[in-house]
């Protein structure tokens, strides 16, 4: 069911699609493909909104640090806003220190997506055309993202087709959703008491500008070891150089593949689990992607007023962005993000909500 969320500064209308199941209610906007709310029950059955965001669509346009957005054409960072592909150098807009973040200054998070409700499911399919040269990226990319409620899970299916003719331009692609989670409810304060498990033996250490320094390194012996559940706030003040570089957590964790013994849902292996003891809410993340970026909302500075009317401060949420690794277009030793003409990139992630 769709209604009008409001209009952008130039008068462009923005629609909101509300998906409902017996367990969940999720609202999705056509602006930026934003997940605007997720109403999930606690152990007593009381629902709260567990994602940060705004009631006013113009706040998304003018202030949002990617709250709930679909990000692309390339999620995460590309060093110096530049990469080489097939002997040609491509320069992108620089919008994060010396680097390009989440597709540039006008990435997919700032576009109006075309929406189609699916008749046979609690689902909405969003589509977007990114033309050759969009934010400096080569080749035309046709993108569809489908949000589906399936019982206690929110499933996101991404599809991106390089629409160039045979012999045309290769491109790079990396897509994710950038929801900020607080399982005690948005505006409730710090997620320092949340418990986190990440099924990763390795991570990518980063520089002071959040660019990977090299290959994966073991999490063992570091505050990034979440192979068994750990309270986030017990770790994030440790005097570790990696935490100091980014003001907390903002790191890519190297995930295993399907069939490595991880629990699965719809054929997708488990990547991470978050538990909030007060409400009993549990969030499980399943994905086929090679990485998940754990971000502890280090850049929330107490200047944004959210849906609760409360100010969002540093550490008031966590992000688990399923994706390829940062700066892969400049790292041939990383899993490739190159998409050739007439090829289609597909990936899926499920966010499952339960209680303890």
DSSP 232-259: GGGTTTS--HHHHHHTS-EEEEE---TT
Hey, how many other C-beta atoms are within 10 angstroms of the C-beta on 277? 13
Q: How far apart are CA 215 and CA 204, in angstroms?
A: 6
Taking the domains of the chain in order of start, what are their residue ranges?
Answer: 2-355
Between CA 42 and CA 259 the distance in angstroms is 32
Category of 136 on φ-ψ map: left (φ > 0), alpha (ψ -120 to 50) or beta: left
Half-sphere exposure of residue 88: CA atoms within 13 angstroms, side-chain side: 10
Q: At residue 12, does pLDDT exceed 90? A: yes
Q: Mind listing the pLDDT tens digit for each residue in 189-237?
A: 999 999 999 999 999 999 999 999 999 999 999 999 999 999 999 999 9
Average pLDDT of span 155-176: 98
Q: What is the mean predicted confidence (pLDDT) over 147-151?
A: 94
pLDDT tens profile 240-288: 999 999 999 999 999 986 557 778 898 999 999 999 999 999 999 999 9
Asked if pLDDT for residue 133 goes beyond 60, the answer is yes
- Statement: the pTM of the whole predicted model exceeds 0.85: yes
SS3 223: coil
| Average pLDDT of the segment spanning 148-157 | 96
* Beta partners for residue 96, in sequence order: 99
Segment 72-128, tens digit of pLDDT: 999 999 999 999 999 999 999 999 999 999 999 999 999 999 999 999 899 999 999
CATH fit for domain 2-355, picks 2.70.98.10, 1.10.1060.10, 3.30.200.20, 2.60.40.1180: 2.70.98.10
Helix spans in 129-269 (H): 241-246
Catalytic residue numbers, as ranges: 178, 321
Q: Quick one: pLDDT at residue 258?
A: 57
- Determine contact, residues 254/201, Cβ cutoff 8 Å: yes
- Provide the pairing of β-strand 122-130 with 250-254: unpaired
pLDDT number for residue 256: 81
Residue 313: Cβ-neighbour burial (10 angstroms; 0-12, 13-18, 19+): middle
């Amino acid at each position: 069911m769709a209604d009008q969320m409001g209009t952008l500064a130039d008068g462009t209308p923005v629609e909101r699609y509300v998906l409902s199941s017996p367990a969940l209610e999720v609202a999705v906007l056509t602006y930026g493909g934003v997940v605007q709310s997720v109403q999930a029950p606690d152990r007593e059955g009381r629902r709260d909104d567990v994602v940060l965001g705004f009631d006013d669509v113009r706040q998304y346009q003018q202030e949002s640090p990617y709250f709930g957005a679909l990000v692309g054409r390339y999620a995460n960072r590309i060093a110096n806003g530049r990469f080489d592909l097939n002997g040609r150098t491509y320069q992108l807009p620089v919008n994060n220190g010396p680097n390009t973040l989440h597709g540039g200054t006008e990435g997919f998070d700032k576009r109006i997506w075309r929406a189609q409700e699916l008749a046979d499911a609690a689902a909405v399919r969003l589509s977007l055309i990114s033309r050759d040269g969009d934010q400096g990226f080569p080749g035309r990319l046709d993108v569809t993202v489908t949000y589906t409620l399936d019982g206690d899970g929110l499933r996101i299916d991404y599809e991106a087709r390089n629409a160039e003719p045979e012999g045309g331009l290769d491109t790079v692609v990396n897509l994710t959703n950038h929801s900020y989670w607080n399982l005690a409810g948005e505006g409730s304060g710090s997620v320092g008491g949340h418990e986190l498990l990440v099924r990763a033996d390795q991570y990518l250490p980063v520089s002071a500008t959040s660019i990977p320094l090299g290959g994966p390194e073991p999490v063992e012996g570091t505050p990034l070891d979440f192979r068994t559940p750990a309270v986030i706030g017990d770790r994030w003040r440790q005097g570790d150089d990696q935490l100091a570089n980014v003001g907390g957590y903002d790191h890519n964790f190297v995930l295993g593949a399907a069939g490595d013994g991880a629990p699965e849902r719809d054929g997708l292996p488990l990547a991470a689990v978050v538990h909030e003891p007060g409400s009993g809410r549990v969030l499980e993340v399943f994905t086929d992607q090679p990485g998940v970026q754990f971000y502890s909302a280090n850049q929330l500075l107490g200047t944004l007023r959210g849906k609760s009317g409360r100010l969002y401060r540093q550490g008031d949420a966590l992000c688990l962005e399923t994706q390829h690794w940062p700066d892969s277009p400049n790292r041939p030793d990383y899993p490739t993000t190159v998409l050739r003409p007439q090829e289609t990139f597909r990936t899926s992630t499920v966010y499952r909500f339960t209680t303890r």
